[in-house]
């Protein structure tokens, strides 16, 4: 199993550009989530999904969109990048929403917005 994979590993965007961060898992997990990690702030939940076709907002959803058309994939879209979105982004998955405390993380995407 590859586990949770994320692409790209690094990305530099200009303000106003859009892009999609890719996330895939091969563990048949129902629950998937996106976090951003900023120095001194721990992880903050952006969006999550409890199954294909179902998504919901987390703590900091503004400026981001998600969709879940398949169990495996959970892409995160930045609609119009802003410098405040410079961060490290992690995708995570777990077997189900009830077990969502025990999450498997991808290696992260480091995004810089200039």
Phi, psi (degrees; rounded to nearest 5) at 63: 95, 0
Which residue, 19 or 45, has its beta carbon nearer to another protein? Answer: 45
Which DSSP symbol is given to 83?
A: G
* Distance of alpha carbon 89 from alpha carbon 81, whole angstroms: 14
**Least CB distance to another protein at residue 4 (A):** 7
**Least CB distance to another protein at residue 17 (A):** 25
Q: What separation in angstroms does the CA of 41 have from each of 13, 77, 88, 114?
A: 23, 22, 12, 21
| Residues 8 and 109: beta-carbon distance below 8 Å | yes
Which residue, 9 or 77, has its beta carbon nearer to another protein? Answer: 9
Residues 38-67 that bind another protein (CB under 8 A): 40-45, 48, 58
Binding another protein (rule: CB under 8 A), the pick from 25, 55, 71, 100 is 100
Residues that bind another protein (CB under 8 A): 4, 40-45, 48, 58, 90, 92, 97-98, 100-103, 105-108
């Amino acid at each position: 199993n590859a586990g949770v994979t994320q692409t790209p590993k690094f990305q530099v965007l200009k303000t106003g550009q859009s892009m999609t961060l890719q996330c895939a898992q091969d563990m048949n997990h129902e629950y998937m989530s996106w976090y951003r990690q900023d120095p001194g702030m721990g992880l903050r939940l952006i969006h999550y999904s409890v199954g294909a076709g179902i998504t919901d907002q987390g703590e900091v959803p503004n400026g981001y969109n998600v969709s879940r058309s398949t169990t495996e994939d959970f892409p995160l879209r930045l609609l119009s990048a802003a410098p405040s979105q410079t961060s490290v982004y992690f995708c995570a998955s777990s077997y189900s929403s009830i077990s969502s405390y025990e999450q498997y993380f991808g290696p992260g995407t480091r995004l810089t917005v200039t």
